[in-house]
Amino acid sequence: TEYKNINTLVTGKRVLIVEDDEGLNKLIQKSLVRAGFDCFGVMSGTDAIESVKKNPNQALLIDQQLPDMDGTDIVRNLIKNIPDIIFVAMTGHGNEKIAVEMMKLGAKDYLIKGFDLTDILPIVFKRIFSELETEKKLVRAEEALQETNARHSSMMANIGDVIGIMGVDGLMKYKSPNIERWFGWKPEDLI
């Protein structure tokens, strides 16, 4: 299955919370729903993997310590099939080695659980979804530019006149292919 986070994740703003403490899981869900996100919670790595297989177009908030596996195991399992998965790692115990490993795997952020976690999470996910929206716009702009360049190249190649574009450095930046038909010179020979 092709993962289309740029086209579907941004509009859905869906967040899967992977946290085995049921009370904290519900508290996080409540905080994110209040901030405008669509949330769903699971309490194990196995359930998280199954949920993402059914719907890969969701961001994940992954606790590092779960009863059946750790957060890095979940991510490693998922990126085999979904290399551009969007996730935030969190833990109750700061560990630089795990933080670095999660960031190398592509974590958008790494958070330590604390009294202000439910205040920070909406800000973090708003930033992430905003970045995804910007990325989506950049992809569309790049596609439009490539389309325009292809049309421009086709038009320039098929026009009857000889066209050359010279840069301020005095070198030819563009030479129409019909130079050869008009003058007998190959475009690449024209300096």
pLDDT by residue for the chain (191 residues), tens only, comes to 333 444 444 457 899 999 999 999 999 999 999 999 999 999 999 999 999 989 888 999 999 999 999 999 999 999 998 888 899 999 887 778 888 999 999 999 999 888 899 999 999 999 999 988 888 889 899 999 999 988 887 887 777 788 888 889 988 888 887 888 888 888 777 66
Cβ-based neighbours of 140, under 8 Å, separated by 6 or more? none
Task: Give the pLDDT of residue 133.
Answer: 87
Task: Give the pLDDT of residue 191.
Answer: 67
* Phi, psi values for residue 141, rounded to 5°: -65, -40
pTM > 0.95: yes or no: no
Task: Give the pLDDT of residue 8.
Answer: 44
Sign of CA dihedral 116, 117, 121, 127: positive
